[in-house]
Every structure is written in C-alpha cells, then in structure tokens.
Amino acid sequence: MSNLFDSTPPPPLAEALRPQTIGEVIGQTHLLATGKPLNLAFGSGQPHSMILWGPPGVGKTTLARLSAKAFDRDFIAISAVLAGVKEIREAIEKAQQSMAQYGRQTILFVDEIHRFNKSQQDALLPHVESGLFTFIGATTENPSFEVNSALLSRAQVYVLKSLNPAELKQLFVRAHQHAMPAIEFEDKAIDSLINNADGDARRLLNLVEQIANAISGKGNQITNIDQAFVDNALTVHARRFDKGGDQFYDQISALHKSVRGSNADAALYWFCRMLDGGADPRYLARRIIRMAWEDIGLADPRAIQLANDAAQTFERLGSPEGELALGQAVIYLAVASKSNASYKAFNAARAYVANDQSQSVPNHLRNAPTKLMKELGHGKEYRYAHDEAHGYAAGESYLPEGMSEPHWYQPVSRGLETQIAEKMAFLRKLDQEAKNNN
C-alpha cells in the first residue's frame, strides 16, 4: 500500500530516463557499437582507468555508472566542483573498506575532473597505481591541458560527441512516451525542440519536461502541441559556448581559418555563432585586426584599414549596431587577396635576432651628431638614396658587416604584392648592375 503522506517529488525526466544498460544509450556509436572501443572494454569485464571528454549532455556520467555494472564494481561518484581533499580522502577510505571487508574493487568517478587542481589530482595517483580503484574522469575541457600528465598517462581518453538530430529525435520519442503519451506533437514542434537542444541530450529532456509542465498548468485543455506553443513555453536558449574553454577557442579557430580559406559565408557563420554565444565583440574585433595583418598583409592593405575602422565603429556605436561593421570586415577579409609573406618574414627575423649575437651597426649607417663621431667615421660614405637614380642607392648594404642578404620577405603573386614583387626584382637588378660595374 502506498504511503499517502509520501511527498517525495518524482525524479527529473533526465534522471528517470537515464539508461540502465549499454543498449539503451543513444548516440556515441563510434565508441559503443559492436567492435568499437567501449563496447569491447565493457564486454571484456576488465576495467581500466579512462577519461570521458565531451560537451555537456552527451552521456559521460551515464557511461561511468554503466561501467560499474559492466565490471561489477562498487561505484563512488564525486564532483570536482563541490569536492575537496576531504571528499577525496573519504572516497579513498570507503574504497579501502570495501576492499578489506568484501574484496571488491571500486570505480571512482570524478565529474568535471578539470576543476581539480594539481595537488588534488596527484592525490588520486597512488591509489590508481595500486589498483585500489579504477579512475573514471569526465571533462568538458581538453584533458591535454587540464589533467596532470601523470594521471593522463594512466587513463585512456575517449572523446564523446554531441548527439545529432536523428539521435535527439530517438530520445524525444522515448521522453514523449514517458512524460505525456496522450499529447500529439506536430513535426515542426519536434524540430524546434531538437534545434533548441543543440546536441545536448539533457537539455532536450529538460525542454520536454518544461513543455509537460506548461501543459499541466493549463489543465486538460491541450492535446496537440505546435511550434508556436513550444516557442512560447521555452525560455530563450543560448548556443553551447564557454568563454574560457575549448568551445571558445575551437570557434575562434574556425573563424580565423574560414577567413584564411576565403570562405565568406563560413567566416560569417562562425562570427555570428560566437556573438550568439556571448563572445565579447571587442575580443572579436582584436582577432579580426590580427587576421588582417597575419593572413592578408600587403596583398591588400585596405583590409587592415577596414579592420581598424570596424573596431573603432564598434567602440562608437556599441551593440548591436557596431556588430554590423565587424561582420562587414569579416566578409572583406575573407574575400581579400591573401598573403602571409610579411608574417613569415617577421617571424623569421625575430627568430634570427633571438639566436644571433649582437651585431654592430656599420659605420656608414651610424648617426654623427657630434664632431667626435664624425672623426670616428660615423656616417662616412653614406649614400643618400633620394639623390641617386630611381631614388635608390644601388649596391648599398644596410645589414651588419659579414651578414648576407637573408631574403626573409618573399611577396606572393596575389593582390598588391604582385606589384611589390616586381619592384623588388627591379631593385635587385639595379644592385646586380652596380656590382658588375665595380
């Protein structure tokens, strides 16, 4: 007989529908399909330490829990957001007690392992090595940067992916049948839910639960859900975006590479994705200016001017009006002629100077503001280029004595640099003629 006074609320839909077996997991077929790494690992019955790396809502916690069943191990879960040394110590003591009393090994699951500092991560190492517990970590950040190398070397990294629309639709069907089977959903309403979920299974289940709550608030009046109902019931969503994490740097990388690849549409897409996710437009403006200098350079100097003008326009207008200027700059940079010749030349010169000894300035290039300096030969035999043919002192050297011409700057055959290359070839011809006449 049920307890009439039991006021325990039902679990959230995401928890109620958490898979109980590997076969119930939706998505991650690259790891869980027959013959794939985690499928083989679970089938072997031999646990190994692992790190599950992927965006939110793709099943990291679920796979960790299922591993305990697959390997028949005790399961301890801690969150690096809430836990400290005390919680780590308690988990270790509990694992030791289980081993001593029952001879059972433990799986220790650390959610958001990247939140643990170095000393906290180091505290796990001896017990991973001794076999007291098998370590499973979950992270949304690149473990190469966020997990200590010693711990990383003892764990296999598995990369989890966002759910695609077809997989999210499977999940929706499951949630629909569980939460409100009597309610009909129009196709566009389902598409709207899937689009709002943005690859995140947990978010989709929360959205379905939000719809169910909205329906219950209206009594039994609603039997059909259309897109308008979904749009009205849901809170404004934001794209998955972490201002300090991998999502941030992956997207700015995609923007930069789209500009470099001369694809205006792709560049504009990533630019708008970052704005939509909350990126600071001033940061984007700085990166746009950097792209102009690095990837376009002297092939089209107008790109540099336009990038700077766009940044100034944003400072004057702010959001959202100023974002149009930045978007226009992105388009121009994408379609502009490309050259990294100046960028490569600068890096080569910096590297040369960093590894070279300090070279003296040749006498003919030195300044001679005093009588003594003139007596020492400073500025002697310097040739004033404006007084010579073509405004060029053919054959003159401007490098330290004994240093050969490095030819760092090699203009490309695109845009304005085509003309620059022609000018440089002409000047080198004059140098060769001067050399032959001496």
Q: Which residues contact 336 (CB under 8 A, 6 or more apart)?
A: 296, 299, 300, 302, 303, 415
- Looking at the structure, do residues 134 and 193 belong to the same domain, yes or no? no
- Looking at the structure, do residues 169 and 155 belong to the same domain, yes or no? no
Residue-range definition of the domain harbouring residue 198: 165-233
Q: Is residue 99 part of a domain?
A: yes
- Looking at the structure, do residues 38 and 146 belong to the same domain, yes or no? yes
Tens digit of each residue's pLDDT (9 = 90 or more) over 30-39: 999 999 999 9
- Looking at the structure, do residues 152 and 170 belong to the same domain, yes or no? no
pLDDT band at 247 (very low <50, low <70, confident <90, very high): confident
Q: What pLDDT sits at residue 235?
A: 61
Number of compact structural domains in the chain: 4
pLDDT band at 378 (very low <50, low <70, confident <90, very high): confident
User: For the chain, what is the mean pLDDT?
Assistant: 89
pLDDT band at 184 (very low <50, low <70, confident <90, very high): very high
Mean pLDDT of 138-145: 88
- Looking at the structure, do residues 176 and 130 belong to the same domain, yes or no? no
Beta bridge partners of 53: 139, 159
Boundary-marking domain end, from 106, 125, 159 = 159
- Looking at the structure, do residues 35 and 154 belong to the same domain, yes or no? yes
Q: What pLDDT sits at residue 134?
A: 92
- Looking at the structure, do residues 227 and 291 belong to the same domain, yes or no? no
| CATH number of the domain residue 307 falls in | 1.20.272.10
The one-letter amino acid code at 71 reads: F
Q: Which stretch of 88-97, 195-204, 298-307, 367-376 has the lowest confidence by average pLDDT?
A: 367-376
Q: How far apart are CA 231 and CA 267, in angstroms?
A: 29
237 has pLDDT over 70: no
Pairing mode of beta strands 133-139, 74-79: unpaired
- Looking at the structure, do residues 153 and 45 belong to the same domain, yes or no? yes
Boundary-marking domain end, from 233, 258, 288 = 233
| CATH number of the domain residue 93 falls in | 3.40.50.300
344 has pLDDT over 90: yes
Q: What pLDDT sits at residue 420?
A: 93
- Looking at the structure, do residues 120 and 142 belong to the same domain, yes or no? yes
Cβ neighbourhood burial of 108 (10 Å; 0-12, 13-18, 19+): buried
- Looking at the structure, do residues 153 and 38 belong to the same domain, yes or no? yes
Q: Is residue 15 part of a domain?
A: no
Pairing mode of beta strands 74-79, 156-159: unpaired
Q: Is residue 343 part of a domain?
A: no
Tens digit of each residue's pLDDT (9 = 90 or more) over 189-201: 999 999 888 889 9
Give the residue, 312 or 247, on which the prediction is more confident: 312
Q: Is residue 416 part of a domain?
A: yes
Mean pLDDT of 152-173: 94
Give the residue, 307 or 103, on which the prediction is more confident: 307
Q: What pLDDT sits at residue 109?
A: 95
pLDDT band at 63 (very low <50, low <70, confident <90, very high): very high
Q: Specify the pTM.
A: 0.65
Tens digit of each residue's pLDDT (9 = 90 or more) over 4-52: 445 567 788 989 999 999 899 999 999 999 999 999 988 888 889 999 9
Backbone angles phi, psi at 157, to 5 degrees: -95, 125
Q: Dig out the tokens for 431 from the structure.
A: 């140098």
| CATH number of the domain residue 170 falls in | 1.10.8.60
Tens digit of each residue's pLDDT (9 = 90 or more) over 425-434: 999 999 898 8
Mean pLDDT of 361-389: 87
295 has pLDDT over 60: yes
- Looking at the structure, do residues 226 and 264 belong to the same domain, yes or no? no
- Looking at the structure, do residues 169 and 150 belong to the same domain, yes or no? no
